[in-house]
Structure 1
Amino acid sequence: MNARSYGQFCGLARAIEMIGERWSMLVVRDLVLGPKRFTELQAGLPKIPASILSTRLNELEHWGVIRRRVTPQLDASVVYELTEYGGELDQIVLQLGMWGARSLTEPCPDEVITTDAAILALYGAFRPESALDKRITFELRLGTLTLTAVVADGSVKVAEGCGAETPDISIEPKTPAVLNQLLKGEVNASAAIADGRVIVKGAQEYLETFSEIFHVDATPAPSEGLVVH
């Protein structure tokens, strides 16, 4: 492959050579939730040119991170999926996503929230220790996107759409930034409901529970310069 080499016999250097090219980690992110066709990957990465997606898939396949498989359905579609080796990236993807989420503020006008990104964000923000002995179904509405998160005794299952169960609370933040503030604990749940930043249906007290169970660390303070000890 023509991936850039750093010329170092180092695990981190090799990892970056394998998955550090532009778009590669986002391809991995979208395969963490399961196999996808080429067109499905394109839909989740709306700004990627088809030629670049093809190149990244070939590179990831070369490194043994993903594989292609022909489905048994009548259309015999080709899907891409993580290998066992590639699947070991799932927690790395979640942790890196949460690290980056600490620096999220307001989305730019051309930035979108994809289904897979939103689902993985909830998985990454989930705090099992705060969900022990709790059984709550949350419905989260972000514009045209609806997610259902079923919390049961320290575990969570997140899926697109309205779940089979009636949600205990439906949460609709006015903007993605408001949701981000809730997850960081930067906005009070009761105040957000009172001033209309969040529209809820169902048990309103569960909005505070939501921000306890799904949490992102606060935005890091701006650097004040290098301190030499």
Structure 2
Amino acid sequence: MSPRRSYDQYCSAARALDVVGDRWTLLIVRELLAGPRRYTDLHADLPGVSTDVLASRLKDMERDGLTTRRRLPPPGAAYVYELTGRGRELLPVLVALSGWGRAELGERRPTDAVRAHWFALPLLRLLEGTGLVEVRLEEGDFHLHVGAEDGPVYGEGPAPTEPDARLTVDSATCAAVSRGETGLLDAVRDGRITVTGEGPLAKALLRDV
């Protein structure tokens, strides 16, 4: 395990970057916000990272108290990585970073990878309240635990139980909302996002329709 590099500055921002400033670290946190993940799953959803770098980052993050590693009971018997409470505290940082970075998003480039659940952070920034939301996209389905104080923040695939709201949206609209070119409620009013459900989140999205 390599020694931690430091900016050697007595500043909380510099100290934070000592821990999370390395390339890939915050994106690993983004993936682990979905809950425990196997190494192979992390590698599949972080296209471009080498196996050596991913392994090194995970070791560093465990050393720094951001993640833990545990072995699943049989029949799984695989190791999974998950966030500690300290690591989970980075959620608002990633949500804010997602908002700041929307001006940099632009149009999708031919070389850009995409995963449906990468739209989770922009939607978490825009949805208010608490509840389970299922999102249906061309790239696949995912679900969000809006306002969750512990446990997974999002997950791949349909919601595990009946969601409070179900959003059906095309990728172009989801990208436009992520870039800030159109508001979430505006897209619902225009019919570009279809909302169904009986929960408070669905009713809030449909209140002006």
Verify same fold: TM over 0.5.
Answer: yes
Who is 1:76 aligned against? 77
1:180 aligns with 2:175: yes
Contact between 2:176 and 2:182, CA under 8 Å: does it hold in 1?
yes
Q: How many residues align?
A: 192
Q: CA deviation at 1:121?
A: 2.9
Q: CA deviation at 1:54?
A: 0.6
Normalization by structure 1: what TM-score? 0.67
How far apart in 2 are the matches of 1:151 and 1:90?
A: 12
How far apart in 1 are the matches of 2:166 and 2:69?
A: 40
Contact between 1:137 and 1:165, CA under 8 Å: does it hold in 2?
no
Q: Larger Rg: 1 or 2?
A: 1
SS state at 2:105 partner: coil
CA RMSD across the alignment: 3.5
Q: CA deviation at 1:110?
A: 1.6
Task: Summarize the alignment of residues 26-45 of structure 1 with structure 2, pairs less than 5 Å apart.
Answer: 26-45=27-46
Contact between 1:60 and 1:66, CA under 8 Å: does it hold in 2?
yes
Who is 1:147 aligned against? 142
How far apart in 2 are the matches of 1:136 and 1:2?
A: 41
1:162 aligns with 2:158: yes
Q: Which string of whole-angstrom CA distances, capped at 9 and with x for unpartnered residues, describes residues 69-88 of structure 1?
A: 11223342111111222222
How far apart in 1 are the matches of 2:71 and 2:34?
A: 18
Contact between 1:98 and 1:125, CA under 8 Å: does it hold in 2?
no
How far apart in 2 are the matches of 1:189 and 1:158?
A: 22
SS state at 1:179 partner: helix
Who is 2:125 aligned against? 124
Equivalent pairs: percent with the same residue? 28
Contact between 2:33 and 2:154, CA under 8 Å: does it hold in 1?
no
Q: Which string of whole-angstrom CA distances, capped at 9 and with x for unpartnered residues, describes residues 31-65 of structure 1?
A: 12211110011111021111110111111112111
Contact between 1:119 and 1:159, CA under 8 Å: does it hold in 2?
no
SS state at 1:107 partner: coil
Consecutive unaligned residues in structure 1, runs of 5 or more: 213-229
Q: CA deviation at 1:185?
A: 5.6
Q: CA deviation at 1:18?
A: 0.9
